[in-house]
Amino acid sequence: MLPYESLISDSQKSLTAPCTRNHRLLQALSQCQVVIGVICWALGALYLLRQGLMSGLSLAIFSGLYFIISGSVGICGAASCRRALLVAYATMCLHALVLVVPAMLVYSSLAVHFHEDGCYVYCSHLTWTCKLLCQGSPGWQGLPPQSKGRVVDIGLITTAVVEFLLALSSAILSFHLVCGSYRCLGSRIVGQLKNSVFIYEDQVLFDLFRCGYGLECSSCEFAVYCNDHCQAKAWETHRPECIFITRCPDSVPCGMVRLFSRIVVKLNNGGENEGSWFRTDYSTYERRLFKNLMSHQTRLFLESKRIREFAECCYALRSFMHSENIPFSSGLMEIFGKIVVNAFSILNDDLNPIGIGVYLNLSQLDHACDAENVVMFDGARALLNCLNPDHVDTSNDLRTHTISYDSVICETESRRRTLQSRYYFTCRCRRCLDLDLDAIATSSKCANSGCNGHVLLDVETGGGRCDGCSKAVDDLWPSVNLMLKVEKQNDALEERIPEEMNILS
């Protein structure tokens, strides 16, 4: 996977992260926590000046500093939507609930009773309170009762109660923002990849899930999210593209161009040295970078069709990005080649294409027409699933697994022609080398109800003989013509599908 993060400045229009309702609320709670920390720190200093109580000073000032630090972490987490900061803030709030606030309440409550009695070490029935607070310190000897100390303690109690409510609300809200739900597929998963550089299509949610609730981006009104958490999580990815779309809301380019722009922005920010995340039980696999992908640039641009597509893509890209940090033509040619050769069409549960993406680690898997694995998608997350869950793999090398780059229902010559034109190699897998499979694929079913044999065509006679029951058939040309008609219909259907959405895994 190629994780996508970048910062782009726009002198004409400044865009900030989408302030979702929950994040704005968390930011307000964090700011209140900072204010409470300052008040607590001031009360601690006042305690020292008016009473000379070092124990009260240390507790109040420590609590105030803790509230200020935790509130600052919460402000940063709410503003940046960073999961780590939100987790740290929630943890600090829990510490405040369990340790800091109870300590303030116990200390200040005892001190209020102590001041109400109007005595210090001369008190007979509150001697245990006096010892608990001052440990018999001579500094307390002879001090007159001061009502202002009682006011400070009541202030600390009020501060502790408010902080308790703030910390409880902030902890609950932080965990709500951090926690997310993930769907799982039922088949045996060989490996999982997070969402790579991918492109969503109209009205498809940013993580490529569909649901009944759609939350549009308030700036570009193009990207759609399922909830506030999804919107905040996707902001780092969407931010640069949001600027581009806002400039030309009525002429948003196709998915291929938007994928092109994301990769260009990513590479401009040092993304060529960032690897991909891959979770698997296999210990041996290549951790690929974008620069490791094959582009077949020299072969690609020998075709007039590819040259025309590249020219159209570059024109749309420059109109979309306004020539901001766009590489020279040689760099664009290499990126274009890597997209064409390595891109996957992202499919939904109905196997309909909803996006296009580049997944770095999947590009190391070789092709086989009889592949034992298939790539499926859970939203934008790619899942490498074994077709035979009972298959025992003795190898610990992920590179021994294969996937099919193209549809396997076509005959060998058609598959080889497609692979050569798109991926520039001639397939020599077991299925392509088995000539009998092609003969069976183009045969007719035996007319005998109890026979499962195949009637193979004899081109010279136009007839054939069943390889099961040996029954002869005189004329197979009607069946052959029907198969040719269906094949032409399939070819016509494929031509109507945009090529950018026809790069099947």
Q: CB of 183 within 8 A of CB of 339?
A: no
State which residues form the domain around 292.
189-389+399-405
0.85 exceeded by pTM: no
**Residues 92 and 129 grouped into a single domain:** yes
Q: What is the pLDDT of residue 392?
A: 56
Q: Alpha-carbon distance 404 to 365, whole Å?
A: 9
**Is a pLDDT exceeding 80 seen at residue 159?**
yes
Same-domain pairing of 374 and 469: no
Q: Would you tell me how many other CB atoms lie within 10 Å of the CB of residue 286? A: 15
Query: Is residue 418 assigned to a domain?
Result: no
Tokens of 448: 């005998």
E strand segments, 350-496: 353-358, 366-367, 373-378, 381-386, 402-403, 444-445, 454-457, 464-466, 472-473
Q: Let me know whether 164 and 88 are in one domain.
A: yes
The answer on 209 and 166 residing in a single domain is no
Residue 340, pLDDT > 80, answer: yes
Number of domains into which the chain is organized: 3
Q: Is residue 360 part of a domain?
A: yes
| Average pLDDT, rounded, for the chain | 71
In angstroms, the CA 113 to CA 458 distance is 108
Rounded to the nearest 5°, which phi and psi values hold at 70? Answer: -65, -40
Residue 412 pLDDT > 50: yes
Q: In what order do the strands lie in the sheet with 197-200?
A: 197-200, 353-358, 343-347
Question: Which residues fall within 8 angstroms of residue 298, CB to CB, at 6 or more apart?
Answer: none
Which is more confidently placed, 228 or 283?
228
Are 254 and 202 found together in one domain? yes
Query: Please, which pLDDT band fits residue 285 given cuts at 50, 70 and 90?
Result: low
Residue 451 burial (C-beta neighbours within 10 Å; 0-12, 13-18, 19+): middle
- Indicate whether 313 belongs to any domain: yes
Q: What is the pLDDT of residues 8-29, one digit of tens each?
A: 222 222 223 333 567 778 888 8
Residue from 348, 331, 320 nearest 262 by CA: 320
Q: Is the pLDDT of residue 318 over 50?
A: yes
Separation of alpha carbons 74 and 5, rounded Å: 22
Determine the Cα–Cα distance for residues 206 and 219; give it in Å rounded to an integer.
Answer: 15
* Residue at a domain's end among 112, 144, 178: 178
Whether 195 and 207 have beta carbons less than 8 Å apart is answered as yes
Q: What is the DSSP string of 56-76?
A: HHHHHHHHHHHHHHHHHHHHH
Considering the domain boundaries, does residue 505 fall inside one? no
Residue with tokens 């008016």: 50
C-beta of residue 355 within 8 angstroms of C-beta of residue 336? no
Residues 163, 286, single domain; the answer is no
Tell me whether residue 298 is exposed, middle or buried, using C-beta atoms within 10 angstroms of its C-beta: 0 to 12, 13 to 18, 19 or more: exposed
Do 244 and 370 share a domain, yes or no?
yes
| Domain shared by 73 and 221, yes or no | no
Q: Tens digits of per-residue pLDDT, 473-499?
A: 777 777 777 777 777 777 676 665 544
Between 128 and 110, whose confidence is greater?
110
Confidence of residue 182 (pLDDT cuts 50, 70, 90): very low
Q: Is 109 inside any structural domain? A: yes
pLDDT-derived band at 265 (thresholds 50, 70, 90) equals confident
Kindly provide the b/e burial profile for residues 394-419, where b requires at least 16 CB atoms within 10 angstroms of the residue's own CB. Answer: eeeebeebbbbbbeeebebebbbebb
Same domain, 277 and 296: yes
Same structural domain for residues 144 and 225? Answer: no
Q: Does one domain contain both 129 and 210?
A: no
- Domain membership flag for residue 86: yes
Query: Which of 17-31, 184-198, 204-218, 349-363 ranks highest by mean pLDDT?
Result: 349-363
On whether residue 8 sits in a domain, the answer given is no
For residues 142 and 267, state if they share a domain.
no
**Residue 143, pLDDT score:** 43
**Sign (positive or negative) of CA dihedral 465, 470, 474, 479:** negative
